[in-house]
Every structure is written in structure tokens, then in C-alpha cells.
């Protein structure tokens, strides 16, 4: 006899809350992931350079962004995978580039893209 705690809870999409058939590293279902990529192609934030947008899309495809609070604060894996940074949809990040504040980092671009796609 199984206890109620031993039954696995289904994994749900972070945006639409549908049950995912296969686990997803970024927490999004296929349709919501398509919406994020489309939003990045059609409406790239003007503050970011093209190479930053390419790196941000790569982060999203690898599932390197994990929502921490209400899809506004995210944990992001660093480029070499050795560190974890906190970033916000406003572009603030605690990575070395974000702390220097000379330019915006691509972690913030990825967070912004994911937050705008999940808010829509």
C-alpha cells in the first residue's frame, strides 16, 4: 500500500502550469519555450548587443535559468558551470560583469526574455 507522500507529483510548466510529459531542464513546455524564443527574435531588448542575445538564448536552451521568486529573480549557471549567480528581470546580476556595472550582462538578458514571455 502506498502512502500519499510516496506518489510523485507531476512536473508542470512554469508559464501555463500544464503537466509536462517529459521533464524539462528549463521548466517550460514545448509551446511556452517556443514563445520565449519567438519573443527573443521579434523583440530583442535594445540595451543588449547581438552577441549577448545569442548567449542569453543559449542559456535558455540549456535550461540554465531557474526561477527563484515569482519569475522575477532567477538563479543562473555561469558559463563554465562552476558558479551560480542571481539575476533579476531588471538586468541586475551578481556576476563579475554585473557587479562592475560597466555594461549589462547576458544573464540579465536571459532573465528579461523569460520574464516577459511568462508574463504574457
Check pLDDT > 60 for residue 82: yes
pLDDT at 1: 46
Question: Helices 106-119 and 30-42 sit at what angle, rounded to 10 degrees?
Answer: 120
| Residue 108 or 117, more confident | 108
Check pLDDT > 50 for residue 20: yes
| Residue 77 or 116, more confident | 77
Residue 43, classified by CB atoms within 10 Å of its CB into exposed (0-12), middle (13-18) or buried (19+), is: exposed
What residues contact residue 75 under an 8 Å CB cut-off, 6+ apart? Answer: 65, 66, 68, 84, 85, 86
Q: CA–CA separation, 63 vs 1, rounded Å?
A: 36
Nearest to 93 by CA among 79, 111, 118, 80: 111
Check pLDDT > 80 for residue 18: yes
Of all residues in the chain, the percent with pLDDT exceeding 90 is 2
Average pLDDT of span 73-81: 85
**34-67 per-position pLDDT tens digit:** 877 777 666 666 778 888 888 888 888 887 888 8
pLDDT at 40: 65
Check pLDDT > 70 for residue 5: no
Check: CB of residue 91 under 8 Å from CB of residue 103: no
Amino acid at each position: 500500500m502506498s502512502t500519499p507522500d510516496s506518489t510523485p507529483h507531476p512536473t508542470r510548466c512554469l508559464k501555463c502550469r500544464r503537466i509536462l510529459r517529459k521533464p524539462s531542464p528549463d521548466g517550460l513546455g514545448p509551446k511556452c519555450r517556443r514563445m520565449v524564443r519567438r519573443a527573443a527574435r521579434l523583440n530583442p531588448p535594445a540595451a543588449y548587443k547581438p552577441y549577448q542575445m545569442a548567449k542569453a538564448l543559449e542559456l535558455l536552451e540549456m535550461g540554465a535559468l531557474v526561477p527563484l521568486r515569482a519569475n522575477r529573480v532567477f538563479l543562473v549557471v555561469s558559463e563554465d558551470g562552476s558558479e551560480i549567480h542571481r539575476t533579476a528581470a531588471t538586468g541586475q546580476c551578481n556576476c563579475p560583469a554585473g557587479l562592475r556595472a560597466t555594461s549589462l550582462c547576458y544573464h540579465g538578458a536571459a532573465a528579461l526574455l523569460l520574464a516577459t514571455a511568462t508574463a504574457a
